[in-house]
Structure 1
């Protein structure tokens, strides 16, 4: 059976995962964003194929995604590793994902680093994956499937360093203005940082700045502090400019 396992706060990672799984006609989806889910129930076998897609947060796998993957039993399932980044760099995300899955009994066979619109600075890599990405990622999907069917080992090592770089996220927490108290953000937050009885607030100790609540708010009431946002953008602008390309690891 083919499984698509994703952690996609603002939708970019899911779009890339869907394109890279296009060669398979049927799939079962597992959403790592769902904090209420019991991830210990997922046990795979050597007959299964799992495409696992996560975003790069500061060059690392989001800690909450790692925690939920560590609850699963790989059972020898073949794994396709996908890291999605917002046009800056993915650094050690791919090798960290490889180590996490290997420890849980998965067998990494192929991987990809794909670009999607930046989750915070939406003007960078805007609209990606775009039409050119779609053609490329679908083509890669077919190549990966052919490789798995042929039963050959992975020849190309994943890019990244061990030990991994120190985790360093942008320290900003979305705040709500003119909140209509609909609760959409409460249900979508992967770490439970928004109180159900006070959806206009955010627990800064829990928040991972994944931007899921900002993307989901139907009233566009949630946003980051504009002054802090401008400062962070100025620091990262040079690294975010230009078109970064997708990478395939077979």
Structure 2
């Protein structure tokens, strides 16, 4: 079968890297290479991004409490899809993704994309990292490669039918304030966390100060700190682990919606 000639864009919100890993695996099966658009970049002017109807966008986000991170929705809907086909990717920490895909579908359509496929995949939980540790793994990679071939076949057939996605409208209520990482004594105020924070919740002059209302508990600061000097409250982390143990322990497979 002749492969569909396309320009592929990876539009990804991945504060700790798990969503990016899934996007890369799926991209390899689709086209091998893609232009990257980083939805975590607070300095980017997303309203200046315009695609064409000949393009294909892989739009990947993590599920936060069964919803798309609000800042990802805001930045995605500022873009101009202009009829580009979209493959939606929702990545979650082995608990549940609930209304994430339908919310992402609505945001993509609002931005002018045509949704032709969607994938739900599992990556290591960004907060309670003992859950889905090491994922996406080899089994996930094989599943995502097979999904990529099926999506490529749909593109080659110029099939623009919309997938039937699980989820509810109206969406579930967004969660309240989550766990806010704080600086430990090991912090040397290098400023990496402040520069990398997707919502600029960390004070640039004094990274030990955090705007707790702005923080989205994405754990980006924990992941990028060179000194390993940012942590969440260990008691809260332990409580979260106990709460998640029952619902996160059984392995969940990737899902494809065509």
TM bin (shorter chain): over 0.9
Partner residue, 1:194: 202
Conserved 8 A contact 1:113-1:247:
yes
Partner residue, 2:139: 132
Figure out how many residues of one structure are paired with residues of the other and give that number: 250
Q: TM-score, normalised by structure 2?
A: 0.94
Conserved 8 A contact 2:12-2:37:
yes
Partner residue, 1:13: 19
Superposition deviation, residue 89 in structure 1: 0.2
Superposition deviation, residue 108 in structure 1: 0.1
Deviating above 4 A after TM superposition, structure 1's stretches of 4 or more consecutive aligned residues are none
Conserved 8 A contact 1:82-1:114:
yes
Does residue 232 of the first structure (1) align with residue 231 of the second (2)? no
Conserved 8 A contact 2:57-2:84:
yes
Does residue 115 of the first structure (1) align with residue 128 of the second (2)? no
2: CA distance, partners of 1:155 / 1:28: 24
2: CA distance, partners of 1:32 / 1:122: 23
Partner residue, 1:204: 212
Which residue, out of 81, 100, 105, partners 1:74?
81
Superposition deviation, residue 27 in structure 1: 1.3
Superposition deviation, residue 170 in structure 1: 6.0
2: CA distance, partners of 1:172 / 1:132: 31
Q: Secondary structure at the match of 1:21?
A: helix
Partner residue, 2:10: 4
Instruction: From the superposition, tell whether residues 194 and 210 of structure 1 become closer, same or farther in structure 2 (CA, over 3 Å).
Output: same
5+ residue gaps, structure 2: 1-6
Q: TM-score, normalised by structure 1?
A: 0.97
RMSD after superposition: 1.1
